[in-house]
Structure 1
Amino acid sequence: MKLLSVLGLNLCLSLILAQKFLHFICRILNYTQNSCEKVFCLPWQRCVGGSCMCKIPYQCPRNGTSVCSTDKKTFQNYCQLKSLECQRNRGKFMNRGNCNPQDSFHLSLASGNTSSEGIVEAEINHGQKIFYCGRGWGMKEANVACRNLGFPEGADSTELVEPDGVSRTLECLSANCRGTETSLAECAVIRLVPRNEKLAKVVCHEHHRVCSPGEFFCVNGKCIPSEKTCNGIDDCGDLSDEVCCRACRAGSFHCKSDVCIPKEYLCNNEIDCLTGEDERSWVTCRSDTRKLTERKKIKMLLPQLHCGVANSRVSRRKRIVGGINAQMGEFPWQVAIRDQTGRINCGGVYIGGCWVLTAAHCIRQSHLKTYRIYTGLLSAVIMTGQIDTYPIDKIIIHENYNSETSENGIALLKMVEKRIHFACSSPGLVPLCVPWSKYMFKDGHRCQVAGWGLDEGSRRQFNLKWGYVSLMGNCSDIYRERFFEGMECAGTHDGSVDACQGDSGGPLICFDSRNIGYVWGIVSRERCGKRGHPSIYIKVANYFDWIGHHTGFSVISRHNV
């Protein structure tokens, strides 16, 4: 019994130390609600270099409901207003519809000792002032109220208070915010007749101070109690207390990217975790259009990129080294690269448009005219009606590629468009999604690898084969100075499943909780099933911006567009 207690204590201490280290690393990287490595950007933002940046209004959808800003300007939709506010920090949302002279929304604090604290009240349409009820009020609403009042870091605290003679009223407003709004006018609001109803009081953050040892230092400079981190509640006001969590406290849900979200976000028909696990197994989810906010409506109007869904479900099979043949439609993104000899020496992966991703060592600029891309190929010797071929129009090898170390060993091939329909589309050809965050899949995640490489006897194979491999996190210990940033390892501990010569350039495919496939890696160095030495892959998420720069981000961006 004592041994179990000691083991339990050691485990708890390990978790605490691990969490503190994770927070320390996150603090260095300054992860917040604007870090698209960790969370989705808002509809009026897009992901650039790992950060959510303001869109220009014309980049928003053109349709939607017109809205009015506090400086009495009518916008075509909510996204256009928010993108302009995001850039200039003025002209907040006031109401839906066109602007009218009688429309107004003014927020203030009453019965406070300073200008930064008090009971929250609003004056709507130049009428009587009305207080916000305590019902449904929390830190999300408090942060929005303080931002609305000109305190960009949000609230230090909030509480519910009994109305006094001054604040007693016939009705009050009950607000429900997401927490990312900049005005309480954006939040869902209902009017209540108060019956023993408490009112919402806030203390807005004014001055920074030095955090004590028992406090968490937020990226925006605020200090909060350590016990308020990783609880699904944005106490910092910039979400930095919720984006670096190995585990989450009661009442919240842990995303695989180590982000904590409120449990009410589960099954709300909106993906909040990067890999969709908050919506995965909640089969009774129902869409309720009555609860659609302007933010959600705009999100639904954004362009949808269709990728990563095979035409045929993959069943459990064996390995790529000596594995079983792939079937038609199982890997619709897999392409073969044939050189001037007519042999398949490398694979590649179709990512959309006319673009193929492969390994840099597979190709040479001087041989551009001799290469051919084969799509729909299952057998290198039996040609079927599903197969299509493309010459290559352009080869782009990463400018920092080092052929000796394989650093930055990634390349793009642009196929020549078909003259018939001026596109690179073939029957059954489906793009594989491109990951934008290195936190989407972690060590131990089971993925797939496919190719036409050698088998375990180093015999040449003519059929496309595939197998399951797991991501491994100890590769810097195995390969030491030969393992670099931007690389990933995958395989099995006994070497029974692995990539081999000829598989280079092909994809390492990882699936999210909604069974959407991503090209997590590109086969770079194959070990052919050598025990204790998994194959090395180029980690594609590290090169998202590089790929988007050449292909155009609209080709590869599934989210944050």
Structure 2
Amino acid sequence: MEYRQTDAPPSYDSVMNQNTSPPSYPSLQVLSATQIQPYYIPQPTPQIPAPCVVETISTQRRHVLSYKSKRCCYGGSGGSAFVVVLLIIAVGLGVHYGSSLWTLSGKDKETDICTPSSVNCDGKRDCSRGSDESRCVRFGTANELQVMTSKAGSFLPVCAQGWSKSIADQTCQQLGFRQSYAVDVLQSSSSAFQSLNSRFSNTIQGSVNISSSCPLQQTVSLWCCDCGRPPVSTRIIGGAVAAEGQWPWQASLHFRGYHTCGGTLVAPDFIITAAHCFPQEISDYLLPSNWQVYIGMVSQLKLPSSYNVKKITIHENYDPDTKNNDIALLILNRPVSNIQPACLPVFGQTFSPGSKCWTTGFGVTSKGSDSGSIFLMEVAVDLIDLAVCNKPTVYNGLITETMQCAGDLMGGKDSCQGDSGGPLVCKADDRWYLTGVTSWGDGCGKKNHPGVYSNVGRLLTWIHGKMQQERP
């Protein structure tokens, strides 16, 4: 169909005939890795790697159209089916979820209250949720530690003089990590620095002063965790079943026992996923206790020990109509050990259009499929320039700066239902970086309608800020 610039992008939750029973799940005896088709999805079909499947259709404000719902809702018998019906009704009627701040722990929403005299990045917490001190640290090229203070007003590299393991650990803990992983020095050409003062306070921004000099111009390169280097590195271009260990950061988010969305481990306590996996109008989806997270597995038939969700934090400016800022952060009840996360990109890091990246998930795998993949699937996709993706023949202006298109304009390679919230990763310097979060699209693998992902690079400030606010 043809889009007009005033139209909202296709909503990611389908609508089904509520009187129709979900089709049965294919017999596990006849499934094997060799029977799964490559990750080519020319038409939208919802998925479920569990007892049953719910298939739905989207109703737009102005159009009735087919699209791919990257989130899938599952229903078994009894209470699970009731939840599915609620979701179908809410989404099928096109409910608007709102754009207020959704930081949920149990049933309570938390607000951030700041004093009139609050000062950003002075090392003193003036706001109840600490937002005044949560966006003062970032990483530059080669993981150069950069800090902004209330006096500097801009990000400056941190001089390596006086740096120690304990300060590195404290800084990484401030950023939401458990400890530091590695520290190195870089040769800087900067004319101004942040230098450690005589006493380290609770925050790095409260522990530095502006300086015009730094011995040998050496600044701090800080890694808070080892990331983006899986133990298995073989790839098959075009879509295939992923081998164990290829994408260790892949998470499967289960709502009341059924895979519903994907996610990405980015730190021992944090999972990044999509905001649209948590529709505000259905309160059960907003309760952390209804979710379990499985990480590092490649089969829904062989689940490892699960992690419970402590808190669900959704971007305060997420717009369910446009899918802008479609990102959420899950805080786990305990840290993940022995599983390597994906790397978060550093400030200013970009991947050029045409770069070959990879997306993974348990979504549907073939045209007309009525069930999702039991196995983790992988497919190589090319990044597509924003201007190209906004052409009238493609998405006609619907792609914002917080979105990233990837796939093939000729159709074929794409993500689909059940993949929502999962990773789009790109490789640089032998590490895999989380570049996108599976978000939305029109159909699955359709010509001129590639997959659309939340642009992680554009959302880094929000991610780092929330990780600091929710640090363990």
Between the aligned partners of 2:228 and 2:470, the Cα distance in structure 1 is 16
Aligned equivalent of 1:332: 248
The change in CA–CA distance for 1:61 and 1:531 in structure 2 (over 3 A counts) is same
| Contact residue 159 and residue 195 of structure 2 kept, 8 A | no
Q: Distance in 1 between matches of 2:321 and 2:359?
A: 24
What whole-Å deviation, never above 9, does each CA across 1:200-219 have from its counterpart, x for those lacking one?
xxxxxxxxxxxxxxxxxxxx
Contact 2:229 2:432 in 1 (8 A): yes
In 2, Cα distance between the equivalents of 1:360 and 1:38? 27
Aligned to 1:476: 390
Distance 1:84 1:551 in 2: 19
Aligned to 2:176: none
C-alpha distance in 1, partners of 2:323/2:241?
Answer: 29
Once residues 530 and 403 of structure 1 are traced to their aligned partners in structure 2, the CA distance between those partners, rounded to angstroms, is 22
Please give the residue correspondences for 1:115-514 in structure 2 after superposition, counting only pairs within 5 Å. Answer: 186=215, 293=216, 295=218, 299=220, 302-319=222-239, 324-340=240-256, 342-364=257-279, 366-367=283-284, 368=287, 369-380=289-300, 382-383=301-302, 387-417=304-334, 424-427=335-338, 429-459=339-369, 460=371, 461-473=373-385, 474-477=388-391, 478-512=394-428, 514=429
AA of the residue aligned to 1:414? I
Contact 1:520-1:540 within 8 A present in 2 as well: yes
CA RMSD of superposed structures (Å)? 3.6
Aligned 8 A contact 2:403 2:452 in 1: yes
**Larger RCO of the pair (alpha carbons < 8 Å, separation 6+):** 2
Distance in 2 separating the partners of 1:454 and 1:346:
12
Post-superposition offset of 1:504: 0.8
**Displacement after TM superposition at 1:328 (Å):** 0.7
Which amino acid in the other structure matches residue 80 of structure 1? L
Matched, 1:53 2:194: no
Question: CA-to-partner distance for each residue in 1:65-114, whole Å, 9 max, x for gaps?
Answer: xxxxxxxxxxxxx9537999984557x56xxxxxxxxxxxxxxxxxxxxx
Identity level (%):
29
Q: 1:458 to 1:63 in 2, by over 3 A?
A: same
Distance 1:84 1:549 in 2: 16
Change beyond 3 A, Cα 1:515–1:62? closer
How far 1:378 moved relative to its partner?
1.4
* Higher-Rg member (1/2): 1
Distance in 1, Cα, partners of 2:144 & 2:416: 42
Count of residue pairs brought into register by the alignment? 289
> Which residue of the partner structure matches residue 531 of structure 1?
447
Structure 1 gaps of 5+ residues are 1-34, 65-77, 94-185, 187-292, 418-423, 556-561
Deviations 1:482-506 (A, max 9, x none): 2112000000232221111111100
Counterpart-to-counterpart distance in 2, 1:351 and 1:389: 17
TM-score, structure 2 normalization: 0.55
2: CA distance between counterparts of 1:84 and 1:330? 40
1:540-555 residue pairs with structure 2 within 5 A?
A: 540-552=456-468
Contact conserved, 1:456 with 1:528, CA < 8 A, in 2? no
Unaligned runs of 5+ in 2: 1-136, 168-193, 199-204
Q: 1:46 to 1:553 in 2, by over 3 A?
A: farther
Opposite residue 456 of structure 2, the aligned amino acid is: V
1:42: Cα distance to partner? 5.9
Equivalent AA in structure 2 for residue 52 of structure 1: F
CA contact (8 A) 1:452 1:465 kept: yes
Give 3-state SS (helix, strand or coil) of 2:437's partner. Answer: strand
Q: Is this contact kept in 1: 2:248–2:297, CA < 8 A?
A: no
Contact 1:48 1:545 in 2 (8 A): no
> Could you tell which deviates more after superposition, 356-365 or 498-507?
356-365
Distance 1:438 1:303, change over 3 A: closer
Cα distance change on mapping 1:59 and 1:506 into 2, 3 Å: farther
Post-superposition shift, 1:547?
0.8
2: CA distance, partners of 1:510 / 1:51 = 29
Contact in 2 for aligned 1:36/1:51 (Cα 8 Å)? no
The amino acid of 2:402's aligned partner reads G
Following TM superposition, the consecutive aligned residue runs of length 4 or more in structure 1 with deviations greater than 6 angstroms are 35-38, 47-50, 56-59, 81-86
Which is helix-richer, 1 or 2? 1
CA distance in 1, matches of 2:264, 2:166: 35
Q: Is the 8 A contact 2:358 2:425 kept in 1?
A: yes
